[in-house]
Structure 1
Amino acid sequence: METDPACEREIYDPYCRWPAGSATLMRSAPWRRLVVLGDSVAAGIRGPLDGYRDLDAAARVAEALGAAHPSFSYHNLAERDLRTAEIRDRQLRPALELHPDLAVISAEGNDALRRSFDEERFHDELTSIIRPLVAQGTQFVTIGLFDLARSGLVPDPHAGPMAERFDRLDALTSRITDEYGGVHVGNHGHPLAADPGIFADDRIHCNARGHAIAAANLVTALAALPAKRTPDAERPAGVTPSTVTG
């Protein structure tokens, strides 16, 4: 972990610690081309917080992989305010052209913010992103969202219906991810998922602590992935992707 005195709170925050063996995981990781697709969560929109590095979750993990492997490349294609269909239409082709061996996807929040959230449509749109990546041999991870609706930052009467939609969203994303051989980072079930202290002043995005926690959860998810993946190969028999709750 980072030892800069300016990040002292993060250093001693147990929820920000990466799992045991993370250094070995970074050194032995097979991935050399990481691509991130998604909305503002994936893009790393955040608020600063004293004592924590001002760096988003995906960039933290990319930094560690890059330090371990000089040939490593990282491309974040995410843009804020996009729905899943827009992410597919704007980011999938550029992602495929980069031939990633690892993709991180966060592509659901703006869909579930709407009362018109349609699970069947979301299923079709998310799988239309995942399928071409998997067919190209890309290992993928989906990012669950923290539980903003139960944080007290969302006013009534909107909080209850929003919480219900986001619960359904996380369960559906996890099922889709498992179906296609990925791993879902279950931030939605994290012990601090509804803690207002992990959210930025805009009451929508995470602050630097939230991103530090999400990075630790992402590394835990990466540790659950198969050690190697052969392009265009089927998932090995007996390998069951796990949902990680941090």
Structure 2
Amino acid sequence: MSSITPLPAPYTETDDPLVLPREQAIALLDGAPWQRFAVLGDSIAAGTGDPSPGYHPTGWADRVAAALTAVNPGLAYRNSGRVGATSTQVRHRQLPEILAFAPDLVHISCGGNDLFEAGGDPNRLHDNLSAVFAALAATGAQLSTFTVADVWEVERMAPMRPMRDRMATMNEVIRTVAADYDAVLTEFWDHPVRTRPTLMSADLIHFTTSGHAVVAAEVVRSLAARVDRG
């Protein structure tokens, strides 16, 4: 986490309308069958971001893991996310580790570093993501992923607006691959959190921890929709 203090958030964790209280997250996941949860990818997977006053300094994936552990106390959790990782690196360096871990629920989050600069190849990203999803789907694991939010209309984000079209392209690749492998897809492109001026860390790339709290809430909701209630 960065040591730079971000702008004060308009809410705290206890009154943020986009954040699920712990008890509600646990109730939504009641009956979830997953015993081994893995996350692989880049800094978004790793949970990078500046702390937000009034919010626990916890990344989204750790929050989801905590809710799943409350439902299944024996849950095993591994997060191989690395800052700066490209889809090629995820495919060749992280995927073998995660396959060896043998998860029954796995979230894949990468692609931004592939297309961060002009000239990135969406076709290579598609090929790498397809290979990662295919290998994990073959194990029988439930796959999960999400799109990135359209944060670039906020005034603070003006220096980063050239990224917007590339990230929209990345989202299309993610949607396509998620559909191919019946992954749980959590959509953030039009999510209301995108307009919060305190959402982004000082680097204007990563969510603050207030954003991570919202991401965790939406991922829990998406996963809950796949739980077989009998």
What is the TM-score when the length of structure 2 is the normalising length?
Answer: 0.88
Q: C-alpha distance in 2, partners of 1:20/1:144?
A: 26
1:52-104 Cα offsets, whole Å, 9 max, x none, are 11111110010111122121111001100011111111100010001100001
User: Cα offset for 1:149?
Assistant: 3.1
Q: Is 2:104 aligned against 1:105?
A: no
* Structure 1, unaligned runs of 5 or more: 1-7, 229-246
Q: What is residue 4 of structure 2 aligned with on the other side?
A: none
- Counting aligned pairs with the same residue, the percent is 33
Q: Is 2:8 aligned against 1:14?
A: no
Q: How does 1:206-221 map to 2 (within 5 A)?
A: 206-221=207-222
Q: What is residue 178 of structure 1 aligned with on the other side?
A: 179
Residue in structure 2 matching 1:40, options 43, 56, 73: 43
Residue in structure 2 matching 1:59, options 50, 58, 62: 62
Q: What is residue 169 of structure 1 aligned with on the other side?
A: 170
User: Cα offset for 1:28?
Assistant: 0.5
Q: C-alpha distance in 2, partners of 1:204/1:85?
A: 20
Letter in 1 for 2:121: D
Q: Give yes or no for contact 2:32–2:224 (8 Å, CA) kept in 1.
A: no
1:181-208 Cα offsets, whole Å, 9 max, x none, are 1021112221122433111122211111
* Structure 2, unaligned runs of 5 or more: 1-10
CA RMSD of aligned residues (A): 2.0
Q: C-alpha distance in 2, partners of 1:53/1:108?
A: 27
Q: What is residue 126 of structure 1 aligned with on the other side?
A: 129
Q: C-alpha distance in 2, partners of 1:21/1:10?
A: 14
Residue in structure 1 matching 2:88, options 85, 88, 92: 85
Q: C-alpha distance in 1, partners of 2:228/2:21?
A: 18
Secondary structure of residue in 2 paired with 1:200 = coil
What is the TM-score when the length of structure 1 is the normalising length?
Answer: 0.83
| 1:182–1:19 Cα change, 3 Å | farther
Letter in 1 for 2:46: A
Q: Is 2:141 aligned against 1:149?
A: no
